[in-house]
Chain A
Amino acid sequence: MIRDAYAVYSIWLREMLRFFRLKSRVIGSIGAPFFFLAFLTMGFGPVSSMPGIPEGMDYVSYLTPGIIGMTLLFSSTFAGLSVLWDREFGFLKEIMVAPVSRISIVLGRTSGGVTTAIMQASIILISGILLGMSVPTLSGLLLSVVFMILIASAFIGLGLAFASKMEDMSGFSLIMNFLIFPLFFLSGALFPVDRFPAAVRMLSYLNPLTYGVDGLRYSLIGVSAFPPALDLGLLLLFCALMLGIGAYLFEISEVK
């Protein structure tokens, strides 16, 4: 038990070391969301009333929680998928041959991925505030961290599930372009989902990230399309499901 807790910490620590050592990757992964935030704000910010956005709400305040959701989505899925790198470079064997429970390996990875995802999200939040977003309250900030943890854990689980089923990195761009990008656009990160035609809107309602972004908006700017309790409940459910599936598939996958 104590050894397992130690293993979780050990794997988390490795993720931190790697994160701070790979500066180019950190900057690279923060680049896309930052430019989305900066250029969309510049382009749409001056428009006083955007259709679907509450009266008097400036676009940068509305957009920042969405871009935070985007950052979490990409960073976490990537963290889950990075098991593939460890497999390709052999390090996964070093982890798997250690006398620790498999669930502690999954927990270590998840905690590492959540931490790095939230660090990146924080940079986006600070950027948003610098670009003119209204400053969130302390309680709102704390609640947003809860949403961030749930979003990150869920998509790490998703990444882990895919990584366990994939032979190598060849399916990576397929997942990024045909799953992650649609999830991002359908989540209402950029504009309210009721701007979509009815059929597409249904897809948005099926997208767990929709509730994540909505929850972040509630926490950070006090505006939401759904009741925050519904956001939290659905997200919790999805998170438990994805982590469960990811951990199960990871556990039964054999190291070659």
Chain B
Amino acid sequence: MDKVQSTGGHGLDSSSDAAIIMQGLSKRFGELQAVDSVDLRIEKGELFGLLGPNGAGKSTIIKMLTTMLAPSGGLARVWGHDIAKERNAVRSSIGVVFQDPALDDMLTGRENLDFHGRMYGMDGPLRKKRIEEVLQLVDLSDRADVKVQNYSGGMQRRLEIARGLMHHPHVLFLDEPTLGLDAQTRRYIWQYIRDLNLKEGVTIVLTTHYMEEADSLCDRVAIIDKGRIVALDTPENLKDMIGADVITLNIQEDGQELLKSLKALPWVSSVDSANGSTEIMVDHAQSRIPEVMALACKTQVIVKTVGLHEPTLEDVFLKFTGKKIRAEGAAVNMKAMMPPGHRRRR
């Protein structure tokens, strides 16, 4: 490689105690700058989340870190190994659960794991022992000898997580681990991920466009939009940036007068209205609801429902990018849920 890169490499060496370091990491596809000079340091033992809408560049970052794509600029080290120059060393240090299923559905769960163990140089007795362990971890022991094509989506996902762990990776990458799964399965998988991080001490990097997922699981979250990190902190600190509660009103007719008088109040930081639903950011929701209701009576607006919630990462995302994750995520999510059933059988 050229000189600039190797100098940069030395700079990275000094802080190689981190699990992952990215410096100016970029990827360009033709005209599209998918990842735009990302600097990020992920510590050993962290459960780290990359949160952002589809197309934000999360998966591209994961693909570069897992040596599936070559970066077009910048550098990164995973467990001390350069992702461009020491690909096999990187591959030995990581486990990956890709966004789309990567199982051979003609083989049984056990055979898929056995294949994996062999590819990672594990001998027979070790494979056998480890297969039982990881199957137990994801509750698939009794389905191990069933062909993967007869697994449900949730079972396939669990099998992939088990496989990603089989060779004791230092870092486990999970690309949208719960995409397209039902709420119950999602919670189970969250529990597995937490356990792994705590009990096996695996550094975990996951991508998601579900706010709840990033919020409930991750030690730290990087919010990504258009290939850049727009915010990086613990979920709590990120939400504290909003510094307000949110009251949601559903009102009949337009209620322009109510909105106008709400905006004039000193304890209201902002009012947004869309499709008859109004979001009011206030300093302390519980004590402000009566005042809002009183004001509604005064302006003769009929309130159908009233709700309040603490700030979510969704609100944080809205603040930093001026748009919602959910609106974009939802459409893509529908599509992502289609393929398993619609795919041709081999």
Q: Which of A44-52, A87-95, A205-213, A223-231 contacts B (4 or more CB under 8 A)?
A: A87-95
Q: In the complex, identify which listed stretch (B112-120, B183-191, B265-273) lies at the interface while the others stay far away.
A: B112-120
A14 (CB) vs chain B CBs: closest residue: B115
Q: Is residue A203 within 8 Å, beta carbon to beta carbon, of the partner chain?
A: no
Residue numbers in B under 8 Å from A255 (CB-CB): 68-69
Asked whether, in the complex, the Cβ of A99 is within 8 Å of the Cβ of B70, the reply is no
A55 at the interface (CB under 8 A from B): no
- Interface-side segment among B36-44, B88-96, B135-143: B88-96
Q: Is the interface of A mostly helix, strand, loop or mixed?
A: helix
Contact of B91 among A14, A17, A21, A99 (CB under 8 A): A99
A18 to B67, CA, bound (A): 28
Q: Which of A5-13, A65-73, A130-138, A194-202 contacts B (4 or more CB under 8 A)?
A: A5-13
Question: What residues make up the interface of B, taking CB atoms closer than 8 Å to A?
Answer: 66-70, 88-89, 91-92, 94, 96, 98, 100-107, 111, 115-116, 118-121, 163, 343, 346
Out of A18, A93, A99, which one reaches B68, CB within 8 Å?
A: A93
Contact B111 A17 (CB under 8 A): yes
Are A6 and B107 in contact, CB atoms less than 8 angstroms apart? no
- Select from chain B the residue with minimum beta-carbon distance to A18: B106
Q: Are B91 and A98 in contact, CB atoms less than 8 angstroms apart?
A: yes
Residues of chain A within 8 A (CB-CB) of B118 are 6-7, 9-10, 13
Within 8 A of B (CB), among A77-115: 85, 89-101
The answer on a CB contact under 8 Å between B92 and A99 is: yes
Q: Provide the residues of chain A in CB contact with B98, threshold 8 Å.
A: 90, 93-94
Contact of B119 among A90, A93, A95 (CB under 8 A): A95
| Alpha-carbon distance A255/B346, docked complex (angstroms) | 20
Alpha-carbon distance A231/B318, docked complex (angstroms): 70
B29 to chain A, nearest CB (A): 10
B68 closest partner in A (C-beta) = A255
Decide: B343 and A89 in contact? CB cutoff 8 A: yes
Partner of A18, one of B69, B94, B107: B107
Contact A90 B91 (CB under 8 A): no
Kindly state whether residue A165 has any CB partner on chain B within 8 Å. no
Within the complex, the shortest CB–CB distance from A112 to chain B, in Å, comes to: 12
B residues within 8 A CB of A95? 119
Which residues of chain A are near B106, meaning CB under 8 Å? Answer: 17-18, 21-22
Could you say which residues of chain A place their CB within 8 Å of the CB of B105? Answer: 89
Assembly CA distance A254 to B105 (angstroms): 23
Q: List 24 A-B contacts (CB under 8 A).
A: A6-B119, A6-B121, A9-B118, A13-B115, A13-B118, A14-B104, A14-B107, A18-B104, A89-B346, A90-B98, A90-B101, A93-B96, A93-B102, A94-B98, A94-B115, A94-B116, A97-B91, A98-B116, A98-B119, A98-B120, A99-B89, A99-B119, A100-B88, A254-B70
Shortest A140–chain B CB gap in Å is: 36
Q: Which residues of A contact B111 (CB under 8 A)?
A: 17
Which residues of A (1-36) have their CB < 8 Å from a CB of B?
Answer: 2-3, 6-7, 9-10, 13-14, 17-18, 21-22
| Chain A 233-256 interface mask (CB, 8 Å, partner B; 1/0) | 000000000000000000000110
Shortest beta-carbon distance, B62 to chain A, in Å? 11
Contact indicator A99/B120 (Cβ below 8 Å): yes
A interface vs B, CB < 8 Å?
2-3, 6-7, 9-10, 13-14, 17-18, 21-22, 85, 89-101, 254-255
Residue of A nearest to B69 (CB): A254
CA distance A22 to B346 in the complex (A): 9
CB-CB nearest in chain B for A91:
B104
Q: How close is B170's CB to chain A, nearest CB, in angstroms? A: 13
Provide the residues of chain A in CB contact with B346, threshold 8 Å: 22, 85, 89
Residues of A within 8 A of B107 (CB): 14, 17-18, 21
Which B residues lie within 8 Å of A254 (CB)?
68-70
Bound form: Cα–Cα A2–B123 in Å: 11
Task: Write out the residue numbers on chain A whose beta carbons fall within 8 Å of the beta carbon of B100.
Answer: 90
- Which residues of B have CB within 8 Å of A99? 88-89, 91-92, 119-121
Q: List B contacts of A14 (CB < 8 A).
A: 104, 107, 115
Measured between beta carbons, the chain B residues less than 8 angstroms from A18 are 104, 106-107
How distant is the Cα of A18 from the Cα of B163 in the complex, in angstroms?
Answer: 19
B92 touches A94 (CB 8 A): no
Q: How far is the CA of A9 from the CA of B248 in the complex (A)?
A: 61
Instruction: State how many angstroms separate the Cβ of A100 from the closest Cβ of chain B.
Output: 6
A17: chain B residues at CB < 8 Å are 106-107, 111
Taking the closest CB of chain A, its distance from the CB of B157, in whole angstroms, is: 13
- Bound-complex Cα distance A2 to B119 (A): 11
Residues of A within 8 A of B103 (CB): 90-91, 94
Q: Which residue of B lies closest to A9 (CB)?
A: B118
- Neighbouring B residues of A10 by C-beta, 8 Å: 115, 118-119
Contacts beyond the supplied A10-B118, A99-B120, A101-B88: 5 A-B pairs with Cβ under 8 Å = A7-B119, A10-B115, A90-B103, A94-B98, A95-B119
Tell which of B68, B92, B94, B120 touches A96, judged by Cβ atoms closer than 8 Å: B68
Asked if B120 and A97 make an inter-chain contact with CB atoms under 8 angstroms apart, the answer reads no
Q: Given A14-B104, A91-B103, are A100 and B119 also a contact pair (CB < 8 Å)?
A: yes
Q: State in angstroms the CA–CA spacing of A21 and B147 once bound together.
A: 11
User: Using Cβ atoms and an 8 Å threshold, which residues of chain A touch B115?
Assistant: 10, 13-14, 94
Q: Which residue of the partner chain A has the closest CB to B119?
A: A98
Are A90 and B102 closer than 8 Å at their CB atoms? yes
Cα distance A94–B107 in the bound complex, in angstroms: 14
User: Which of B66, B91, B92, B102 touches A91 (beta carbons < 8 Å)?
Assistant: B102
Q: Give B105's nearest chain A residue, CB to CB.
A: A89
